[in-house]
Amino acid sequence: MTGLAVVIVSVLAMGVAAIVTWPDAGALAAGASRADGDVAGDVAGDRPRPDEALPAARATTAALVPDRTLPSSAPVAGGPGVQVTPPRLLAISPATVPAETLRKIATLPHVQKVAVTDGGAVHVSGTALRLLAVDPAQFRSWTPKRVAEHPEVWSALARGELVADSGTIKRLGMALGVDYQIDGGPRLRVAASASLGLPDIDGLVSRDVGQRLGFPGGVVVLVHGDPGKVDRDAVARLLGKGAQVVQIGAESERPPKAAAPQGQALVGRPESYLELYQRSATVCPGLSWTVLAAIGQVESSHGRNNGPSSAGALGPMQFMPATWKSYGVDGDGDGKADIWSPFDAVPSAATYLCANGAGQGGEKLRKSVWFYNHSWDYVNKVLSLADAYARTYAS
């Protein structure tokens, strides 16, 4: 691995002017506070109370069209990255890899998937810190399953923070929650750590952060395919002189844990989104399923865009992780409350709305939707869309 480390430092560091200074422990600043955004983002007790009068609905109902097909389609459990495709090869190129080269790699025998991302190096007290700069939504499936399913990893990247490999945290004595000043650049907060399973890669940042650090683009290639059968030499030849290619072993699996005992299903696992919204509404007597359907369409188009959002909201109903800890429920009785699962997220949204008075209707309903997202325009849009659902799906 030494050769790869040298290439990453010497090749990717070109154009990287930023250097991380590692101050004494006493000089380290505590992690900066962040704004979580307004999407399902307030835990009980911390919510602001709007004093102004509730405005009349301003949304144009005719412009809000309910989805006529997705509510009747099957919900898909799990968010981005559940179907992981771990890399079998990690390649570092001395220059941006052309699209034509990527296509050629993709056609090699036993290759199933190819991706390219940005990468670069900073230094910590003279020690190189090699980072990948990634798009969280696209990169998620390239990480081990337990990492892909960890919400805080992806919300941290969405917030522009650093996710460090757990080995790097231990090797360098880094502290979670601490901001490190990039010399001539931004401060980076080490927000999470995870076993990434990528040789000589010390951590992840978002692509935007990588650009601010001056990382070269499109120089790191990941190849997924049949284990042990992807031709490393053929990939190296296609990438050309100066490229380094490392084979990555299969992800080491922890001993399986005993399955959590099955609990009583709150809503079960309905065969359609329409039925899921209808069942979930019963969690909050007085709440119409059409409100849940409207929120589901606005937030994720019924699970088609599960985030993370720019504010770090996750899953089909776009919960902030902190709010999920208080209101997330196990809807299908599998023993866990999964923010990515629609069978848990939709009844959790009903629970959250109900805690804010949604079941009482009228102005209480409007306020409950406002608590979900602190925008009266959002409230008007959701409730007008709910009315449109009621008309479209009237029995």
pLDDT tens, position by position, 346-380: 999 999 999 999 999 999 999 999 999 999 999 99
* pLDDT tens for each residue of 330-350: 888 878 888 988 999 999 999
Q: What stretch of H or E contains 134?
A: strand 127-134
Alpha-carbon span 394 to 66, nearest angstrom: 12
**By the 8 A CB rule, do 275 and 268 touch?**
no
- pLDDT computed for residue 216 by the predictor: 93
Write the burial class of residue 172 (CB in 10 Å: 0-12 exposed, 13-18 middle, 19+ buried). middle
* pLDDT tens for each residue of 72-104: 666 765 554 446 788 999 999 999 999 999 999
Read off φ and ψ for residue 64, nearest 5 degrees.
-100, 110
Tokens at 136, concatenated: 């969280």
Higher pLDDT, 13 or 127: 127
How sure is the predictor about 255, in pLDDT bands with cuts at 50, 70 and 90? very low
- pLDDT computed for residue 125 by the predictor: 63
Sign of CA dihedral 213, 218, 220, 222: positive
Alpha-carbon span 247 to 36, nearest angstrom: 39
Read off φ and ψ for residue 125, nearest 5 degrees.
50, 45
| Average pLDDT along the chain | 77
Query: What's the pTM?
Result: 0.48
CA neighbours within 13 Å on the CB side: how many for 373? 20
pLDDT > 70? residue 150: yes
CA distance readout (Å), 296 to 30, 128, 291: 37, 44, 9
